Amino acid sequence: MIHCTFENDRKTSLRHVVVDAIVVKDGKIFLIRRGPHLTNGGKWAIPGGFLDRDETLEQAVIRELKEETGLKARSVKLFKFTDNPARKNEDRQNVAFVYIVEASGQIEFDLHEVTDAKWFDINNLPKENEFAFDHYETVKDFLKQHSS
């Protein structure tokens, strides 16, 4: 949570904004394994991270994808947002904007944040308990809506 004081001296806690990138190609989805020291460390996730000051959501998802995976986004389209304050495995009540992203390039990642990154067949995903946050549900929602 972000703690702040407004102009009228009212103190409050605000929620973080994050962006996530669903990257799918040839019947496979791209996932990263989070570094062990991070929240939900060692679990699989869709690439993403926090929105920085002075950037748009689209700029953030392009930046996060590049930072975490080395991949370059070619196309970015909003899929959904998740604003449930009781998100699974979430300690900050993040509001997530999830994008469908077409990407290209070589996979490169910094072992500080990501310990593995690979393509999974959409019919052979990691088990639900191996996913970080609510990303398993997000992936399942995407596959359900884009199966036809």
| pLDDT on residue 148 | 57
Tell me the mean pLDDT per 10 residues along the chain, length 148.
81 89 96 96 97 97 97 96 81 89 94 95 97 96 89
| pLDDT on residue 101 | 97
| pLDDT on residue 8 | 85
| pLDDT on residue 86 | 79
**Alpha-carbon dihedral of residues 102, 92, 86, 114, nearest 10 degrees?**
40
| pLDDT on residue 7 | 82
How far CA 40 is from CA of 52, 112, 135, in Å, comes to: 21, 14, 11
| pLDDT on residue 55 | 97
Cα-flanking dihedrals φ and ψ of residue 49, to 5°?
Answer: 175, -165
Residue 39 · residue 1 · CB < 8 Å: no
CATH homologous superfamily of 17-145 equals Nucleoside Triphosphate Pyrophosphohydrolase (3.90.79.10)
Sorted by where each begins, the domain ranges of the chain are 17-145
Separation CA 120–CA 116 (nearest Å) = 12
